[in-house]
Amino acid sequence: MTNKLLNGWEEAPLFKYLELVPSGVKQFKGTKKYIDTGSLETGKIRDGVEVDYATKPSRANMQVREGDVLFAKMKDTEKVYLITKDDIAHLYSTGFAILRVKDKAKLLPKYIHFWLRTNDFQRLKNKESTGATQKAINETKLKNFKIEIPPIKMQERIVALLEKAEQIKSWRKEADGLSKDFATHLFFTLFGDIGTNEKGFIIKKLDEVKNPNTDITYGIVQAGPHVANGIPYIKTGDMMNGTISTEKLAKTSKEINAKYKRSEVHKGDLVYSIRATVGTVALLPDVLDGSNLTQGTAKISPGPDVNVSYLLWFLRSAGCQTWIKSRIKGATFKEITLGTLRETPIMVPPRKLQDKFADIVNKMDSIRNLQQSNTSDSNNLFNLLMQKAFKGELA
């Protein structure tokens, strides 16, 4: 917010040109889709459930009009949505505050949609949220909020600019998704599925394609207390979406690590989850060379018959994952044994074909890293434009 209003701008109480839509639903026949706070993210309704009037949840008690703008009232939750004509038939949760513009000659709904997403509004909402268990903003607190409103033509310019910046973010996200799917499609095209092995590749056990000088084994049994300057060790919780987080890793003492040299992992090793998130596999980041594991993870050091990138994607493949999942033990505490992991069937195509796949994937990884940088740039651009727009710095 600016200390001095720009020419033509007005600082007004939030409800001068807006009203808060009250709860209450008219009786209806049949069913309606109910949208709760978990069914919506900023700019998108993901899903919802069909409810009838007699049995609908008590919170399914809000109706909307086209142009209404809703936001989640809960603290630390940025979920903002502009209602279109396709959304007006749904029911909405009382977990949303729904704002309705009273005078569209003074205020654009889309301007409100973006304003509710600003850091200034979200910080103030969090600060003023109250409640014993789930803190949330209420109507009494919202009445004290103020909004700086530019002339309608300026609002149109701000909205147009922010829509373009948001479209760039959306395109960037789509491109990221396509690059992530590329390796999966390439793998299937070159090698097929182990369930059918239509290309007739040799099949060996994982234990037969590992480095003959190492064993497939799990890690430290008792890691002891965290040691700030100790040796990092990897838990199942450190593995997500095929990567290993290098931040906030627990560390054990050098003395304890020395007792478990067999499970030290080094550059070129794969780390495989054998408990909880069974089947998650990742290539060890270079910065974790010399780290260790816990009992929930196992190391796999590839031998000369398999390229590590090929083996990584094979273990991620649908056919291999199906084989592993059919052998998981435990209803609540899920795990597979090292014996089962060692028996995993591996297709072994000619090494040259594996290397060709790995070379392409590695190049795609370089492109993806560049994309991530561009994604960060597009997000930063959008946030910067948001900040400047509502301070009147885009005039």
Residue 194 belongs to a domain: no
Please tell me whether residues 25 and 63 are part of one structural domain.
yes
Please list the ranges in the chain whose pLDDT falls under 50: 1-2, 371, 375
Structural domains in the chain (count) = 3
Residue 299 belongs to a domain: yes
Please tell me whether residues 132 and 242 are part of one structural domain.
no
Please tell me whether residues 86 and 170 are part of one structural domain.
no
Residue 82 belongs to a domain: yes
Could you give phi then psi for residue 12, rounded to 5 degrees?
A: -130, 150
Please tell me whether residues 379 and 282 are part of one structural domain.
no
CA distance linking residue 8 with residue 283, whole number of Å? 58
Please tell me whether residues 243 and 136 are part of one structural domain.
no
Please tell me whether residues 145 and 134 are part of one structural domain.
yes
Domain C-terminal end among 332, 348, 364: 348
Residue 3 belongs to a domain: no
Lookup result for tokens 């009494």: 140
CA distance linking residue 119 with residue 117, whole number of Å? 7
pTM over 0.85: no
Please tell me whether residues 42 and 117 are part of one structural domain.
yes
Please tell me whether residues 32 and 164 are part of one structural domain.
no
Residue-level pLDDT at 363? 80
Residue 295 belongs to a domain: yes
Give the domain CATH number at 288: 3.90.220.20
DSSP single-letter state for residue 170? H
Residue 313 belongs to a domain: yes
Strand partners, 243: 240
CA distance linking residue 180 with residue 171, whole number of Å? 14
- Residues 252-280: tens digit of each pLDDT: 999 999 999 999 999 999 999 999 899 99
Indicate the helix (H) or strand (E) that contains 359. Answer: helix 351-389
- Residues 310-348: tens digit of each pLDDT: 999 999 999 999 999 999 998 778 999 999 999 999 999
Lookup result for tokens 């990138």: 309
Residue-level pLDDT at 2? 44
DSSP single-letter state for residue 23? P
Residue 165 belongs to a domain: yes
Neighbours of 160 (CB within 10 A): 11
What is the domain range of residue 166?
158-185+350-395
**For residue 310, what are its two tokens?**
């090929």
DSSP 134-162: S-B--HHHHTT-EEEE--HHHHHHHHHHH
Please tell me whether residues 206 and 180 are part of one structural domain.
no
Strand partners, 322: none
Please tell me whether residues 266 and 331 are part of one structural domain.
yes
Smallest CA-to-CA distance from 186 within 366, 362, 360, 348 is with 360
CA distance linking residue 124 with residue 141, whole number of Å? 10
Smallest CA-to-CA distance from 295 within 233, 226, 212, 207 is with 233
Please tell me whether residues 368 and 385 are part of one structural domain.
yes
Residue-level pLDDT at 367? 60
Residue 58 belongs to a domain: yes
Number of alpha carbons in the 13 Å side-chain half-sphere of residue 348: 16
Chain length of the chain: 395
CA distance linking residue 250 with residue 247, whole number of Å? 9
Q: Within the chain, how many helices (H) and strands (E) appear?
A: 10, 23
Please tell me whether residues 54 and 83 are part of one structural domain.
yes
